[in-house]
Chain A
C-alpha cells in the first residue's frame, strides 16, 4: 500500500528556534498533501493544504508566517515552525493524496515537537 514517512519522528528545540518537518510519499506521487496538528486526546485539526508547485492554503486561524509550508516536488512537503514557542508543542501529522482515488489520504506516522 501507499506509504508516507515523516522526519524526524521526535524533536526537541529551544524557544525561538525554527524546526523543519519533512513529509514524503515513498511509493506514489502526491499531488496534494495536508498538515494536521493534534493535541493529546484530541482530534486532528487541519492546518493547511499544499499542492505541488503552488502556495499552501491555510485554515482560518493558522499563521502563515509561523508555519511555513513548501511542496517542492510530488513526493516531498515540508513544514517549518518558525520562532517556536512552548505552545507550539504538539503532534504534527501529514497526509498525502494522489493515489488512484480522490478520497483516500495516507497518513504519516507523525512528528512529536517539544519546545522548551
Chain B
C-alpha cells in the first residue's frame, strides 16, 4: 500500500465550478497536512496547511482533514482559469530521521476553462 494516494485526475471544469481534490494516507504519524499548487515548469507553492481534523478556510479555498479516516480534501469555490495548475497534497512528520521531510501525493492536474 502506498503511503499517500491522490486522485490522479485530470480534472477539467468550467469557470465558477466547485472543485474537490482528495488524498488518502496510511501513516498515522503525519502531523501536518498541506496542499501545494504547482504551475507548469515552476516550483510548488504552499496553498494551505493544517494539523488538526476539521475544516480550514482561506478565501475560496477550504482544506478538510479527517484523521480517523486518513483522508484530506481541498475544495476550491468559484474556480477561475488562473486556478489551472497541478495540485499536490503533502504530509509532514516532524520526528526521527524523517524530520522535515514532505511526502507528496502524485498530483492532480486541474484545468478551469472560461
Contact = CB atoms under 8 A, between A and B. Distances in A.
A81 interface: no
Interface in B68-108: 88, 92, 94, 97, 100-102, 104-107
Given A49-B100, A102-B100, A110-B41, A43 B106 contact: yes
Contacts of B102: 34, 46, 95, 105
B65 interface: no
A42 B106 contact: yes
Given A44-B88, A46-B102, A49-B100, A103 B32 contact: yes
B7 to A, nearest CB: 13
Given A46-B101, A103-B49, A109 B106 contact: no
Secondary structure of the A contact surface, majority rule: strand
A105 B92 CA distance: 10
B43 A110 contact: yes
Interface centre among A44, A46, A95 (most CB of B within 10 A): A44
Nearest to B102: A105
A112 interface: yes
A44 B86 CA distance: 12
A55 to B, nearest CB: 14
Contacts of B41: 91, 110, 112
A32 B43 contact: no
B110 interface: no
Contacts of B45: 107
Contacts of A46: 101-102
A27 interface: no
Interface in A19-33: 32
Interface of B: 6, 31-32, 34, 36, 41-46, 49, 51, 88, 92, 94, 97, 100-102, 104-107, 109
